[in-house]
Amino acid sequence: MSTTPAPTSATGAGAPVAPRADGFGVRLAAAMADAGPVCVGIDPHAALLTQWGLPVDASGAREMGLRVVEEVAGSAAALKPQSAFFEVFGPEGVAALQEVLLAARSAGILTVLDVKRGDIGTTMGAYARTHLAEDSPMPADAITVSSYLGPDSLNPTVELARLTGRGVFALALTSNPEGERLQHIGGAGGSVAGAVVDWAGVTNAATGETPGPVGLVVGATIGSAVRDLGVDLSDAGGIMLAPGIGAQGAGAAELRDVFGDARDRVLASASRSVLGAGPERGAVRAAARATVDEVRAALA
């Protein structure tokens, strides 16, 4: 991957464009140091909407999303809206998601849109432009992507993300039990997941940015998998989005076991443990701050 990539494969533009100096990884690391290494999920699923006394429809998802933006801005490093919980309400839900993303941008808090896009060629280019282009209609600071069509299929998306100061989080070692059947193939020193981590390391190194624009999704509940597979997360060069902390049971011991010396690059993802504190005003903010304190202590 070139250190000054042309955007043609991802954007359809002509001449090469210089990448932005303030890369996503650098900005996210600064936000983690300032507000805390926590990414708060926005998951307006039916049970939570009902708990909050909101209608189970697009208007409820919009209200919850905007409330979370209001309360979490300044209290955590980033927000992670789950696209599916908005899309399920059709066009109105997508419009609500757009409003939430724009509100987060106005509030100055970074967003990681959880969409797990993965495709090839022009289709993946269209997904990338939807969220990562300068004129994106659904702008996010980063998106989650699936690396299991081959991580190199994501290179055009990474190029666009770097050009616009945005990032991606590629699935590497996920916490769902089904993932192991594919991700662990090849075993120690040659696993499929290891190939994704290696790709991230090479790609980030080529950008010259520290941390680079390519983050990884690594579940905090995967136990000894990183060690068993001989994967070195310290070489990945990016930030690791770690679901499983809090409500799913991962604490300090699990974080040390999974991430080892790479703990300083961990961005913990917390959804239920924070949103479940609502709907009273100030409750989500307090829960986010408490989660930040817990995660900081666990990562120390």
Q: Which residue has the tokens 């001989």?
A: 230
CA angle 230, 204, 218 (to 5 degrees): 45
41 φ, ψ (degrees, to nearest 5): -75, 150
Provide mean pLDDT across the span 164-182.
96
What's the one-letter identity of residue 195?
A
pLDDT band at 257 (very low <50, low <70, confident <90, very high): confident
pTM above 0.75, yes or no: yes
Q: Please tell me the total count of domains within the chain.
A: 1
Residue 3 lies in a domain: no
pLDDT at 181 over 60: yes
- Name which of 139, 293, 172, 183 is nearest 243 in CA terms: 172
Q: Is residue 8 very low, low, confident or very high in pLDDT (cuts 50, 70, 90)?
A: very low
pLDDT for res 78:
98
Active site residue 116: yes
Share of the chain above pLDDT 70, in %: 92
pLDDT digits (tens, 9 = 90+) for 214-248: 999 999 999 999 999 999 999 999 999 999 876 66
Asked if residue 16 has pLDDT above 50, the reply is: no
For residue 247, being part of any structural domain is answered with: yes
User: Has residue 125 been placed in a domain?
Assistant: yes
Share of the chain above pLDDT 90, in %: 83
Q: Which domain holds residue 150?
A: 19-299
b/e per residue 240-261 (b: at least 16 CB within 10 A): bbbbbbbebebeeebbebbbee
More reliable by pLDDT, 257 or 178: 178
pLDDT of residue 246: 65
Q: Of residues 116, 136, 257, 296, which has the active-site annotation?
A: 116
Domain-located, residue 12: no
The residue among 164, 149, 240, 157 whose CA lies nearest residue 195 is 149
d(CA 86, CA 95) in angstroms, rounded, equals 9
Who has greater pLDDT, 298 or 187?
187
pLDDT of residue 251: 73
Please state, as a whole number, how many other Cβ atoms lie within 10 Å of the Cβ of residue 134.
14
pLDDT tens profile 121-152 = 999 999 999 999 999 999 999 999 999 999 99
Helices 155-163 and 121-132 pack at an angle, to 10 degrees, of 30
Domain CATH for 62 = 3.20.20.70
Range from 18-27, 166-175, 217-226 carrying the lowest mean pLDDT: 18-27
pLDDT tens track for 35-59: 999 999 999 999 999 999 999 999 9
What does the pLDDT read at residue 134?
A: 94
pLDDT tens, residue by residue, 54-110: 999 999 999 999 999 999 999 999 999 999 999 999 999 999 999 999 999 999 999
Q: Within a domain: residue 13?
A: no
282 within domain boundaries: yes
